[in-house]
């Protein structure tokens, strides 16, 4: 009997320690909130099959949110929108940062299940490695919402019961990006593509969208290089500096899988005195909107962080309260140019 009491006490101590560790993470994030995400314009297309508002009582639920990396600007925008929506509905959120490690992400999910969270929202580190997380949530009998990065891309009809996804159809961003910049190049020239983390669906599908439109609509445009800068501005500076040296005047445009890398491309080009190279990003973050106004970026593709963040929490609460809903909530992309940038501020 004594040994059983010791084990029970140890389990309780572990749970308390986990709560304290996660609470520190919440506090740390709260100390350095990101700037407010851009809002969609008033005439933005409606979210497809938007679920109805959940009816919940104050303090009913605790939901775990495991982000890929709090150093990712756009993911912070999604998180803040989710957290605001949760606060408005009296929901407690416990967060954890996977720091771009699939092993850490699985461990954080398992910790939250031990703590007894009612549902999980996860931004996958690697969309091809989410099966253990999906299985853990199903074995615990709690809803699981993946946001922004889709582990079931192309297989949405095979998603297990109780598993949901909210995000955008990533290939569309690549289509929109290339269809905007292609005519600006007169249908010819050399482009280079800055890619995100190569295991991420967004990096794969946005690049594929670029390539598909080049092949089908702009055969006179050559892809000079494709290289990852891991979504980061600093890494993009280094990559583009190398491209400037390698390709010289043959480099006519840089397509970036996100705005942070596009900003890095602008910095490298400015330092080299190259004002002739067109640069375009994806996300529509505040720095990109400013760069479009100033002429540094020729455009971006707006990804609705508020729609994705609020949508993830809404799906979770609807699943917990028995509201019927589709397994997938698509949030449309929108093209941002110098002509309409003011609508997104």
Give residue 38's pLDDT: 59
One domain, residues 72 and 149: yes
76, part of any domain: yes
Q: Average of pLDDT values for 107-135? A: 97
C-alpha–C-alpha distance, residues 39 and 119, integer Å: 27
Predicted local confidence at residue 183, as pLDDT: 98
Does residue 332 have a pLDDT over 90? yes
The span from the CA of 275 to the CA of 57, in Å, is: 56
Percentage of the chain lying above the pLDDT 70 cut: 83
Phi-psi region of 116 (alpha: psi -120 to 50; beta: other; left: phi over 0): left
Tell whether 227 and 145 lie within a shared domain: no
Sign of the Cα torsion 148, 151, 155, 156 reads: negative
What does the pLDDT read at residue 18? 44
- Residue 48 in any domain: the answer is yes
Give this prediction's pTM: 0.76
pLDDT higher at 167 or 5:
167
Do the domain assignments include residue 292? yes
The reply to whether 338 falls in a domain is no
What's the whole-number mean pLDDT along residues 264-280? 98
Quick one: 88 and 128 in the same domain?
yes
Is residue 85 one of the residues assigned to a domain? Answer: yes
Please check whether residues 313 and 261 belong to one and the same domain.
no
Within this chain, do residues 85 and 199 fall inside the same structural domain, yes or no? no
Residue 308 token pair: 């994705």
pLDDT, position 102: 97
> Does one domain contain both 177 and 251?
yes
Q: Answer whether residue 34 shows pLDDT above 90.
A: no
282, 182: one domain = yes
Residues 40, 94 within the same domain: yes
Instruction: Provide the pLDDT for residue 29.
Output: 36
Backbone phi, psi, residue 186, to 5°:
70, 20
Whether residues 145 and 240 share a domain: the answer is no
Q: What is the rounded (10 degree) CA torsion for 203, 208, 209, 214?
A: 130
Q: Say which residue, 58 or 319, is predicted with more confidence.
A: 319
CATH number of the domain that 180 lies in? 3.40.50.2300
pLDDT category at 60 given cuts 50, 70, 90 is confident
Could you list the residue range(s) of the whole structural domain that residue 69 is in?
Answer: 32-168+306-331
- How confident is the prediction for the chain on average, in pLDDT? 87
Q: How confident is the model at residue 72, as a pLDDT?
A: 87
Q: Calculate the CA 201 to chain-centre distance.
A: 10
Q: Quick one: average pLDDT of 27-54? A: 48
Question: Does residue 182 share a domain with residue 100?
Answer: no
248-268: pLDDT as tens digits: 999 999 999 999 999 999 999
- Taking the C-alpha atoms of residue 39 and residue 305, their distance in angstroms, rounded to an integer, is 8
Q: For residues 63 and 329, what is the distance between their CA atoms, to the nearest angstrom?
A: 19
What is the pLDDT averaged over residues 23-28?
Answer: 36
Q: Does residue 173 have a pLDDT over 80?
A: yes
- Alpha carbon 183 to its chain's center: 28
Q: Is residue 248 part of a domain?
A: yes
Whether 240 has a pLDDT exceeding 50, the answer reads: yes
Is 298 in the same domain as 179?
A: yes
78-88 mean pLDDT: 97
Among 281, 302, 323, the domain boundary falls at 302
Phi first, then psi: give them for residue 59, nearest 5 degrees. Answer: 75, 15
User: How many domains would you assign to the chain?
Assistant: 2
In a domain, 23, yes or no: no
Six token digits for residue 74: 């756009």
- Let me know if residue 189 belongs to a domain: yes
Residues 162 and 200 in one domain: no
């Amino acid at each position: 009997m004594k040994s059983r009491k010791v084990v029970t006490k140890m389990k309780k101590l572990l749970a308390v320690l986990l709560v304290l560790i996660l609470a520190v993470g919440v506090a740390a994030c709260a100390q350095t909130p990101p700037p407010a995400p851009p809002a969609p314009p008033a005439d933005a297309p409606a979210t497809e099959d938007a679920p109805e508002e959940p009816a919940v009582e104050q303090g009913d639920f605790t939901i775990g949110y495991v982000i890929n990396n709090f150093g990712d600007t756009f993911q912070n925008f999604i998180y803040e929108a989710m957290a605001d929506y949760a606060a408005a509905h009296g929901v407690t959120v416990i967060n954890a940062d996977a720091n771009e490690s699939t092993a850490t992400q699985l461990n954080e999910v398992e910790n939250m299940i031990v703590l007894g969270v009612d549902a999980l929202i996860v931004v996958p580190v690697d969309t091809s490695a989410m099966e253990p997380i999906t299985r853990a949530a199903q074995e615990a009998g709690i809803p699981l919402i993946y946001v922004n990065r889709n582990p079931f891309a192309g297989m949405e009809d095979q998603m297990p019961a109780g598993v949901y996804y909210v995000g955008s159809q990533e290939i569309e961003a690549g289509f929109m990006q290339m269809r905007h910049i292609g005519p600006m190049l007169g249908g010819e020239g050399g482009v280079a593509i800055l890619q995100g983390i190569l295991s991420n669906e967004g990096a794969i599908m946005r690049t594929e969208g670029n390539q598909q439109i080049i092949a089908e609509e702009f055969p006179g445009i050559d892809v000079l290089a494709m290289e990852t800068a891991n979504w980061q501005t600093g890494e993009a500076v280094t990559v583009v500096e190398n491209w400037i040296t390698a390709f010289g005047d043959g480099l006519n445009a840089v397509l970036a899988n996100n705005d942070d890398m596009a900003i890095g491309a602008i910095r490298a080009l400015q330092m080299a005195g190259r004002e002739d190279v067109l640069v375009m990003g994806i996300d529509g973050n505040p720095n990109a909107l400013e760069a479009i106004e100033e002429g540094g970026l020729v455009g971006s593709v707006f990804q609705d962080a508020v729609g994705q963040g609020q949508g993830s929490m809404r799906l979770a609460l609807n699943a917990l309260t028995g509201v019927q809903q589709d397994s997938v909530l698509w949030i449309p992309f929108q093209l941002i140019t110098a002509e309409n940038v003011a609508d997104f501020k």
